[in-house]
A and B are shown apart, each in its own frame.
Chain A
Amino acid sequence: MAERIVRTGVVALLLTAPFLLLAVLPLNQAQFWTANVLGRAVVFGIIALSLTFLATYGGFISLAQMMIAGTAGYGVAVTVDGAVPSIVGGLPYALAVPLGLLAATAMGLLVGAIAVRTRDIYLLMITLALAMGVFRFVETNIAWFNGYEGIRNVVGPRLFGQDFRNPYVFYYVSLAVALLLYGFVLYLVRTPFGLVLQGIRDNARRVAALGYSVPLHRIAAFGVAGFIAGCGGVLATIYNIGISPGSIGLGPTVNVLIMSVIGGLGHPVGAFIGSLIFTVFDTFAANLYDRDRFNTLIGLVFLVIVLVSPDGVTGIFGRLRGLAGAGKRSARSLASINKP
């Protein structure tokens, strides 16, 4: 019951956030916070959500999620009308976006299929290798991806007579997508598919003995995660007015992992909490600390979070609830948090 109240409260807060910001900040700063702190956090939270979904319910840590998001971004950038340079071009957003999502889902399935026999550190390495392979390929391919400079001027569609560049349109569309995907993940893990996935996490051999195909479920889970990452990738590409190989390089790849870890790999909501903390520090660290050395501050904050609570910020909530004696429920969520 209490959880439902909290959940409704958070959603209400997110929905009204732009107006609350307007009340406490000058107009331009309120818009900055809406689009470039909250909006950006929501978009990268979606990409982190795809990793958290895999890690929480399947026990798979994949470093390929940013690359998969980039696949969707490139899918849109290559096909959409108005992008510079125009490579295929000519498609409206209504077609280009589904195409990008399809590409990301296919890439997710492909990554899942290639990595299907690996786990733990080997899974991490093989997904990292795939991510770097695609990154280098895109960086050197001029004909399809315009190499190092990437594809620019992906400005986004007009929605309800409003430009997508409008911070409020961007924020609410991103938020709606994030809420839908979040709900979708919570629904999915209660379906038979989700239960088998959690079974694989806990004991893959026993699941196989029960007659379920472990590889097929793993690949399907990567496909779902690919779709989620793709949604984030399309929004990130529109937010960045285009995409270049730098967006899917090693830095952003690791950033997604950092977001997921500091948020906590115990519950999907950790992805968004982590991404909000990351975005706030990434944006304002230079104001708080020496501008030549602000990365030190970011690193220290993340180190403290992980040291204080190895299971991230959501882990802290879990512990507090455990201390308050909330009973079996929190104990169970802690147990699942401690999974890799």
Chain B
Amino acid sequence: MRYPLTRRTALLGTAGLAATTLSAPAIAQRAPIRLGGLTTLEGPFATGGQDAYRCVQMELERINNTAGGRRIEFIRESSNAQADVALARARKLIEQDNVDIILGPLSGAEGIALRDYSRTLTGRTIVNGSSGAADTTLRNPSPNFFRFNTDGTQWMAGLGNHVFKTMGIKDVAVTAGDYAFPYAQVFGFNIEFCRAGGRSTHYWAPLGTTDFGSQIAQINRSDAGAIVVVHGGTDGLAFMTQYAQSGGSKPLIAGSIMADQSMLSARGPHRRVMIGMISAGPIADVIDDPTWREFVERYRRRWLNEGGFQSPSIHGVNYTTNLLGILHALNAVDGDLSGNQAAFQRALAAASFNAPTGASVKLDHNRQAISDIFLNRIEERDGRAQVVSFARANAVNQTLGTPEAQFLALGSPSRDNPGCVPAST
């Protein structure tokens, strides 16, 4: 009984030895670049994470997995949108899988954790995936953390001025979730709106609120000229449904994750009030730009029959934008990652290219994207509600045009610091 087992083990051992000796000389040639992917395939943002990998895979297939003359090996990891899980996965990618570059992560707290981790690394680079917390690059930036996508505050650029100047509304009610991402979005809206002379009244609700009844009653009774809704997911759906049922008729302004296909494809009375809603963000379903039309077309051809969306998600587009930054820099240095990636990182910092939406992208001195933001309106097209871009704010920087020192002095966005500094209170 024992002999066959021993022989098999011996055979396996010999095969293993042979394999190592055979594979050793291959390393001497131009070894592939190891690109580690980190996104969330578990937890609340799992659908966004899946779409991110769809888009990354599609882009890598397009370039035949080659950039700067070297093959790209893509190694996927998954976290669950929590900082320490993302950190553990990133450590594994760097130390065990020996990747040169990490593309990721997806959510805010993960981004800050990886920014801190990147500071402890030499000769490796982390390029953000889709995380959008402002402080990741605004305060204590790390020299080898790059972000080619815009953050939650930038996404609101142009909206405050549009509401005040074009729509002529001087007084708004802001209803928002009581956590970091809505703080950043409300901050971005108020910076422009209050500076123009507008007045905001804030109604905060914790994440997971289902009953907005009293809030809606207060808002309907107030003399606010419009409502700014900065909720996402089920909270947003609950607010819009109850607002529609209350017979509300004020114009609606929305945050970037409110005017979204996940909301528009759900059935219910909210769809009636959402037609005509104005929002701002880094993407829209319909953008009048050939780059975007081509990208959406390609995405639908590749993924519509394999579980993809009608049009790529915000996370998919952000991951693609960051990947394009990496590819751009790899081509610029001809795949050369030597010298602790110094040349590669210089090329990243200097990269200038177009995102899949057609927006131009370049980096500021904190290695944070300066890019275009779209003003969108929800319209009925082809028999379904779609987010249609009607204007574009060009080259929005992280401080929305405010001098950096002045912007930093405003402090981090919070419920006590919603960005409405000059005019109100």
User: Of B95, B109, B178, B414, which is within 8 A of A246 by CB?
Assistant: B109
Q: Is A112 located at the chain interface by the 8 A CB criterion?
A: no
CB contact under 8 A between A149 and B133, given known A29-B96, A32-B96, A240-B83: yes
- Contacting pair B180 A240 (CB below 8 A): no
- Contacting pair A29 B95 (CB below 8 A): yes
Q: Mark A122-148, 1 if CB is under 8 A from B, else 0.
A: 000000000000000001101000011
**Closest Cβ–Cβ distance, residue A165 to chain B (whole Å):** 6
- Contacting pair A32 B82 (CB below 8 A): no
- Contacting pair A150 B83 (CB below 8 A): yes
- Contacting pair B41 A291 (CB below 8 A): yes
Q: Is B45 located at the chain interface by the 8 A CB criterion?
A: no
- Contacting pair A150 B178 (CB below 8 A): no
Q: Is B351 located at the chain interface by the 8 A CB criterion?
A: no
Q: Is B424 located at the chain interface by the 8 A CB criterion?
A: no
CB contact under 8 A between A246 and B82, given known A240-B87, A241-B113, A295-B42: yes
**How far apart are the CA atoms of A32 and B109 in the complex, in Å?**
23
| Interface, chain B (partner A; CB < 8 A) | 41-42, 50, 76-78, 80-85, 87-88, 91-92, 95-96, 98, 108-109, 112-113, 116-117, 120, 133, 135, 139-140, 178-180, 206, 412, 414-416
**Closest Cβ–Cβ distance, residue A215 to chain B (whole Å):** 35
Q: Is A283 located at the chain interface by the 8 A CB criterion?
A: yes
**Closest Cβ–Cβ distance, residue B177 to chain A (whole Å):** 10
Q: Is A152 located at the chain interface by the 8 A CB criterion?
A: yes
Q: Nearest CB to that of A165 among chain B residues?
A: B120
Q: Is A260 located at the chain interface by the 8 A CB criterion?
A: no
Question: CB-CB < 8 A to B414: which residues of A?
Answer: 142, 147
Q: List 21 A-B contacts (CB under 8 A).
A: A32-B95, A36-B95, A140-B179, A142-B415, A147-B179, A147-B414, A148-B109, A148-B179, A152-B113, A153-B140, A236-B84, A240-B83, A240-B113, A241-B117, A242-B83, A242-B113, A244-B83, A246-B109, A251-B80, A283-B88, A286-B76
- Contacting pair B82 A291 (CB below 8 A): no
Determine the interface band of chain A, counting residues with CB < 8 A from chain B.
35 or more
CB contact under 8 A between A244 and B95, given known A84-B140, A140-B178: no
Main secondary structure of the interface of A (DSSP, over half): helix
User: Of A31, A153, A251, which is within 8 A of B95 by CB?
Assistant: A31
Q: Is A105 located at the chain interface by the 8 A CB criterion?
A: no
**Closest Cβ–Cβ distance, residue B16 to chain A (whole Å):** 13
CB contact under 8 A between A28 and B80, given known A149-B108, A152-B113, A283-B92: no
User: Of B41, B76, B113, B180, which is within 8 A of A148 by CB?
Assistant: B180
- Contacting pair A246 B85 (CB below 8 A): yes
**Closest Cβ–Cβ distance, residue A26 to chain B (whole Å):** 9
**How far apart are the CA atoms of A249 and B116 in the complex, in Å?**
21
Listed from nearest, the 8 A-B pairs whose CB atoms lie closest are A246-B82, A32-B95, A240-B84, A244-B83, A291-B76, A148-B180, A32-B96, A142-B414
**How far apart are the CA atoms of A83 and B180 in the complex, in Å?**
19
Question: CB-CB < 8 A to B108: which residues of A?
Answer: 148-149
- Contacting pair B98 A28 (CB below 8 A): yes
**How far apart are the CA atoms of A165 and B42 in the complex, in Å?**
29
Question: CB-CB < 8 A to B139: which residues of A?
Answer: 84
**Closest Cβ–Cβ distance, residue A87 to chain B (whole Å):** 12
**How far apart are the CA atoms of A204 and B301 in the complex, in Å?**
68
**How far apart are the CA atoms of A36 and B92 in the complex, in Å?**
8
- Contacting pair B78 A28 (CB below 8 A): no
- Contacting pair B77 A291 (CB below 8 A): yes
User: Of B77, B83, B85, which is within 8 A of A286 by CB?
Assistant: B77
**How far apart are the CA atoms of A142 and B412 in the complex, in Å?**
11
Question: CB-CB < 8 A to A246: which residues of B?
Answer: 81-85, 109
A sample of 7 more A-B contacts (CB under 8 A), given A142-B416, A242-B113, is: A29-B96, A32-B91, A36-B92, A241-B117, A244-B83, A283-B88, A292-B41
Q: Nearest CB to that of B95 among chain A residues?
A: A32
- Contacting pair A291 B116 (CB below 8 A): no
Question: CB-CB < 8 A to A29: which residues of B?
Answer: 95-96, 98
**Closest Cβ–Cβ distance, residue A156 to chain B (whole Å):** 11
- Contacting pair A241 B78 (CB below 8 A): no
